[in-house]
Amino acid sequence: MMELFSVVSAWTIPVFVTAVVVYASWKKVPVFETFVQGGKEGFAIAVGLIPYLVGMLVALGIFRESGAFDLFVELLNPLTSLLGIPAEVLPLAIMRPISGNGALAIATEIMQRFGPDSLLGLIAGTMQGSTDTTFYVLTVYFGSVGVKKIRYSMAVGLLADIVGFLASVAVCSLVFG
């Protein structure tokens, strides 16, 4: 069975790309020119993202270096300990909606300190896969396409992050704890 999965995995992308090229050629679409045009548009979008990305990274640096991040963790620690949430994963839960790289650094530190197969390592890994960089998405992607009114996007994104965080702790504690 694993051999079948291995073969399917190895051939899925080449077959898909070939099918797209064959179908586009059949429909008389100039495949290479269309690809190059898409690359141009993608590059223009990437250049347009730079100011938003720089702004987000500067704000994140100020948040961490000012001590506000550590203060926020300390303020939440009594509440999370009452709920049975390990204090070691709290910085990861706070950083994840803000910065993927910052969260990855914290998760890596947790895994180096406690081991990837420890309960804390498993919670950290599960949190990385169960939550998103909500503020990054709102700032960079919404900003790049000109969305001004985010309406419920932030609340729903943060709610999803909280649910992912709590589910990571609960499921890992239940299954591995």
Model pLDDT, residue 20: 92
Domain count, the chain: 2
Is residue 74 located within the same domain as residue 147? Answer: yes
Contact assessment for residue 74 and residue 57, using Cβ atoms and an 8 Å cutoff = no
In the numeric block, which tokens belong to residue 137?
């998405």
Residue 57 in domain: no
Residue 54, in any domain of the structure: no
Cβ pair 121, 111 in contact under 8 A: yes
Which is nearest to 97 in space by CA: 126, 53, 139, 58?
139
- Tell me: do 2 and 89 sit in the same domain: no
Residue 17 banded pLDDT, cuts 50, 70, 90: very high
User: Are 1 and 80 found together in one domain?
Assistant: no
Residue 58 resides in a domain: no
Given a contact cutoff of 8 angstroms between Cβ atoms, the answer to whether 135 and 109 are in contact is: no
pLDDT digits (tens, 9 = 90+) for 112-161: 999 999 999 999 999 999 999 998 888 888 877 888 888 899 999 999 99
> Residues 74, 33: one domain?
no
> Are residues 20 and 100 part of one domain?
no
Tokens of 26: 């059949």
**Mean model confidence pLDDT for the chain:** 89
Residues 78 and 157 in one domain: yes
Express each pLDDT in 58-102 by its tens digit.
Answer: 887 888 789 888 888 888 888 888 888 998 899 999 889 988 888
- pLDDT for 139 equals 82
Question: In angstroms, rounded to a whole number, what is the distance separating the alpha carbons of residues 59 and 51?
Answer: 12
Query: Alpha carbon of 146 to those of 40, 57, 149, 169: distances in Å?
Result: 19, 19, 9, 36
**Rg of the chain taking only CA atoms, in angstroms:** 21
Concatenated DSSP letters of 32-52 = HHHHHHHHHHHHHHHHHHHHH
**Residue-number span of the structural domain to which 94 is assigned:** 67-176
Give me the pLDDT at residue 126, please: 97
